[in-house]
Amino acid sequence: MTRKPGKDFYRAVINKSLFPFWDKAVDRNYGGIFTCFDNTGEKLLSRDKYTWSQGRFLWMWSRYVENIREGNIPEPQSGALERLEKDARRTARFLLTKSFMDKGQVIFLLSESGEAKTINEKAPLDASIYADCFVCMGFSEYARVFNEEHFATRAFELYRDIVVRVEKGEYHTEPYPIPPYCAMMGLPMFVMRTGAELAQSLFALGKFERARKAALIAEKYARVLENDFFVKPYNLEIKGPASMNDTLLSRHLTPGHIVECLWFYIHHKEFLQRTGYKPDEAYLTDVFSLARKLGSWALERGWDGEKGGILRFIDREGGEPQGRLIDDPYEKLILKTWDTKLWWVHSESLYFCALMIARDIDIEYWQETYEKIFDYTFSVFPNPDSSIGEWIQIRKRDATPLDEIVALPVKDPYHIFRNMLLLLEL
- Domain containing residue 42: CATH number: 1.50.10.10
Taking all residues of the chain, what is their mean pLDDT, rounded to a whole number? 93
When pLDDT is averaged across residues 305-327 and rounded to a whole number, the result is: 95
Within a domain: residue 417? no
When pLDDT is averaged across residues 390-401 and rounded to a whole number, the result is: 90
Residue 279 CB neighbour total at 10 angstroms: 10
342 forms beta bridges with 394
Instruction: Report the alpha-carbon distance of residue 7 to residue 290 in Å, rounded.
Output: 29
Q: Which long-range contacts (CB under 8 A, 24 or more apart) does 166-169 make?
A: 166/129, 166/191
Within a domain: residue 35? yes
pLDDT of residue 13: 96
Confidence of residue 6 (pLDDT cuts 50, 70, 90): confident
Range of the domain at 145: 23-175
Contact (CB, 8 A) for 198 and 140: yes
When pLDDT is averaged across residues 12-28 and rounded to a whole number, the result is: 96
For residues 218 and 121, which has the higher predicted lDDT (pLDDT)? 218
User: Does residue 14 surpass a pLDDT of 90?
Assistant: yes
Within a domain: residue 338? no
Within a domain: residue 149? yes
Confidence of residue 165 (pLDDT cuts 50, 70, 90): very high
Q: Does the N-terminal peptide bond of residue 175 adopt cis geometry, omega within 30 degrees of 0? A: yes
pLDDT of residue 268: 95
Residue 317 CB neighbour total at 10 angstroms: 11
Within a domain: residue 164? yes
SS3 44: strand
Within a domain: residue 158? yes
Q: Which of 107-116, 186-195, 301-310, 391-400 has the lowest mean pLDDT?
A: 391-400
**Would you give the end-to-end CA distance of the chain in angstroms?**
19
Residue type, 52: W
When pLDDT is averaged across residues 64-68 and rounded to a whole number, the result is: 98
Confidence of residue 2 (pLDDT cuts 50, 70, 90): very low
**DSSP class of residue 126?**
S
Q: Cα 124 to chain center, whole Å?
A: 23
pLDDT of residue 406: 61
**226-281 per-position pLDDT tens digit:** 999 998 788 999 999 999 999 999 999 999 999 999 999 999 999 999 998 875 66
**37-48 per-position pLDDT tens digit:** 988 888 899 999
Q: How far is CA 92 from CA 54, 62, 106, 115, 148, in A?
A: 9, 10, 14, 16, 11
When pLDDT is averaged across residues 100-110 and rounded to a whole number, the result is: 95
Residue type, 403: D
When pLDDT is averaged across residues 360-370 and rounded to a whole number, the result is: 96
User: Does residue 405 surpass a pLDDT of 70?
Assistant: no
When pLDDT is averaged across residues 164-170 and rounded to a whole number, the result is: 95
Q: Would you mind telling me the total number of residues written for the chain in this entry?
A: 426
Compute the half-sphere exposure of residue 102: CA atoms within 13 Å on the CB side of its CA. 0
What is the count of structural domains for the chain?
A: 1
Within a domain: residue 193? no
Within a domain: residue 142? yes
User: Does residue 407 surpass a pLDDT of 60?
Assistant: no
pLDDT of residue 54: 97
Instruction: Report the alpha-carbon distance of residue 358 to residue 362 in Å, rounded.
Output: 10
Contact (CB, 8 A) for 259 and 346: no
